[in-house]
Chains A and B, each alone.
Chain A
Amino acid sequence: MNWRRATLAVAFSAPIIGLLGFGLTRDPKQIDSPLPGKAAPAFSLAVFAPGEGETALAVGDTVRLAGHAGKIVVVNFWASWCLQCRDEHRDLSTAATSYFDRGVRFVGVLYNDQESFGLRWIDEMGGQTYPSVLDPRTRTAIDYGLYGVPETFLISQDGRVAYKHIGPISERLLSYKLDSLLRDGARTP
């Protein structure tokens, strides 16, 4: 047995083992979006579900991101066939109402679905407080680098993507993120 060579062979295989070990600590499905920090992609989409009360818009109206300049915009991508969207629905609706006066606008974007199914879903879920828009041919979704639904984007007052959330979002997280955005916005008008 030549121990020098044996040690050399062992040293040679160490990096491979290290690499595989590192792999175990990673989740291949978690892919960071390059969008946060960048200017939010503009969109201009037609309303199909009006929303409720003061947040309401007329069906057929166009929602433009540019039209909300200076406000925080929460863009939520959803679909009627999406199960996790049911989990976050109430939280989003509540936050949309409670943050309206503080200059936060919510908009739902229907992803890969049909208008009638979207409307029926909203009905089944007991309404949606903010307007939802149609995204024909999923162009806006692709602009936002969507992997699936639900995904929620927080756009700061200066029109940048401040935060992207994958999966159902909770009211608690939403409030936390919105509050800190509002604070930052107040500090740097």
Chain B
Amino acid sequence: MTVGGVLMTAVLVAFVGVPRPGAPAPVTDGAAPPLYTAQTGTQPGAPVGIPGARDSALEATTTLLASELRCPVCQGNSIQDSPSELAQEMRNLIRDQLRAGKSPDDVRAYFVDKYGEWILLAPKPEGLNLVVYLVPFLAILVGGAVVWRTVRKWTAHNPVPPT
């Protein structure tokens, strides 16, 4: 196998500007197959099947939180959806924090502390952010009023009631 050769070329040819190491390309020498790390916290050689019955409520909360947080090394994906290593570790971190008794709000606050508001895929409904939550309702309310008035105006000439 000359994996390394190809990959080395790959890496050298490609010098992409912004650091974005979510999915690292391996740099290896000729002989070794590439490293694309697989450290998922699962024991190597674990028995058939991956950790079976985990706490399902814990998993559900983890999944929910993970889908609310934006993956820092991706483009708009949540860390639930991102296949990147960092996102995977973040999911584990969420699980660990929940297991240690933190509330979902604590977990969110932790990530906002580290990454800023940017990491929340749904902005906190407060302050200016309320705009983005209220405008749709406003649109329906105002639009609904306009539709109602319009229909009344247009049916005004027809006093015949529905039979």
Q: Residues on A close to B: CB < 8 A?
A: 29, 31-35, 38, 41, 79-84, 111-114, 117, 121, 137-139, 141-151, 166-167
Contacts and interface: CB of A to CB of B under 8 A. Distances in A.
A38 B110 CA distance: 13
B146 interface: no
For the complex, would chain A's binding face be called helix, strand, loop or mixed by DSSP majority?
A: loop
B14 to A, nearest CB: 8
A31 B118 contact: yes
Contacts of B112: 34
B20 interface: yes
A144 B114 contact: yes
Interface in B66-115: 72-73, 85-86, 89-90, 92-93, 112-115
Nearest to A83: B15
A39 to B, nearest CB: 11
Nearest to B14: A83
B21 A81 contact: yes
A79 B25 CA distance: 11
Contacts, number: 89
A92 B45 CA distance: 40
A138 to B, nearest CB: 5
Nearest to B34: A81
Given A33-B116, A143-B114, A111 B41 contact: no
B114 A34 contact: yes
B5 to A, nearest CB: 16
A82 B115 contact: no
Q: Which of B18, B21, B26, B93 has the most CB of A within 10 A?
A: B21
Interface in B111-141: 112-116, 118
